[in-house]
Amino acid sequence: MKKQDLKSLTRNELISWFAKEGYPKFRGKQVFNWIYKNGAQDFDEMTNLPSNMQEDLKEKSFISNNLILKDVFSASDGTTKYLWSLSDCETIEGVYLPFVKDGRHSICISSQVGCAMKCSFCATGNDGYVRDLTPGEIVEQVTNIQRSISKEEFGEPRISNVVFMGMGEPLDNMDSVLKAINIINDEKGMDIGMRRITVSTSGIVPKIRELANIEMQLVLAISLNSPNNFLRDSLMPINKKYPIEELIKAVKYYIEKTNRRVTFEYVLIDELNDSKELAFELAGLLKGLLCHVNLIPLNPVDQFNFKSPSKKVVNEFRDILESKGIETTIRQERGKNIEAACGQLRHLKK
Ligand code: SAH
Ligand code: SF4
| 28-87 pLDDT, tens digit each | 999 999 999 999 999 999 999 999 999 999 999 999 888 999 999 998 888 999 999 999
* Pairing mode, strands 104-108 and 91-99: antiparallel
Q: What are the φ/ψ torsions at residue 282 (nearest 5 degrees)?
A: -65, -45
Mean per-residue pLDDT over the chain, rounded:
93
Torsion angle defined by CA atoms of residues 339, 340, 342 and 344, in that order, rounded to the nearest 10 degrees:
40
pLDDT in tens, 12-31: 999 999 999 999 999 999 99
The residue nearest atom 26 of ligand 1, judged by CA position, is: 343
pLDDT in tens, 150-188: 988 788 899 999 999 999 999 999 999 999 999 999 999
What is the residue-wise DSSP string for 98-110?
Answer: EETTTTEEEEE--
What local confidence, expressed as pLDDT, does residue 126 receive? 84
Which atom of ligand 2 is found nearest the CA of 125?
A: 6
Q: Output the CA 126–ligand 2 centroid distance in Å.
A: 9
Instruction: Compare 341 and 265 and report the one with higher pLDDT.
Output: 265
Catalytic, out of 13, 55, 93, 333:
93
With CA atoms as reference, report the closest residue to 106 among 156, 154, 142.
Answer: 142
Q: How far is CA 42 from CA 32, 90, 282, in A?
A: 12, 24, 52
3-class SS at 222?
Answer: strand
CA–CA gap between residue 319 and residue 216 (Å, rounded): 32
Rg of the Cα atoms in the chain: 21
Q: How far is CA 308 from CA 104, 251, 287, 296, 328, in A?
A: 27, 28, 26, 9, 18
> pLDDT band at 347, cuts 50/70/90?
low
pLDDT in tens, 216-242: 999 999 999 999 999 999 999 999 999
Q: Output the CA 122–ligand 2 centroid distance in Å.
A: 6
Q: How far is CA 293 from CA 97, 221, 301, 302, in A?
A: 20, 9, 23, 27
What local confidence, expressed as pLDDT, does residue 349 receive? 56
Residue 341 has pLDDT above 90, yes or no: no
Burial 120-144 (b: 16+ CB within 10 A, else e): ebbbbbbbebbebbbbbbbbbbbbb
Strands, E, within the chain: which ranges? Answer: 4-5, 61-62, 68-74, 80-85, 91-99, 104-108, 112-114, 129-132, 161-164, 197-201, 219-223, 262-268, 291-297, 328-330
Which atom of ligand 2 is found nearest the CA of 168?
A: 8
* Pairing mode, strands 161-164 and 91-99: unpaired
Catalytic, out of 119, 122, 291, 342:
342
> pLDDT band at 192, cuts 50/70/90?
very high
To the nearest 10 degrees (0 to 180), the angle between helices 205-214 and 244-258 is: 0
What local confidence, expressed as pLDDT, does residue 340 receive? 65
Which atom of ligand 2 is found nearest the CA of 167?
A: 8
Q: Is the CB of 264 under 6 A from ligand 1?
A: no
pLDDT in tens, 237-284: 999 999 999 999 999 999 999 999 999 999 999 999 999 999 999 999
CA–CA gap between residue 240 and residue 264 (Å, rounded): 19
Residue 342 a catalytic site member: yes
By CB atoms closer than 10 A (0-12, 13-18, 19+), residue 306 is middle
Q: With contact defined as beta carbons under 8 Å apart, do 188 and 14 qualify? A: no
* Number of Cα atoms under 13 Å in the Cβ half of residue 288: 6
Residue 133 has pLDDT above 60, yes or no: yes
Residue 122 a catalytic site member: no
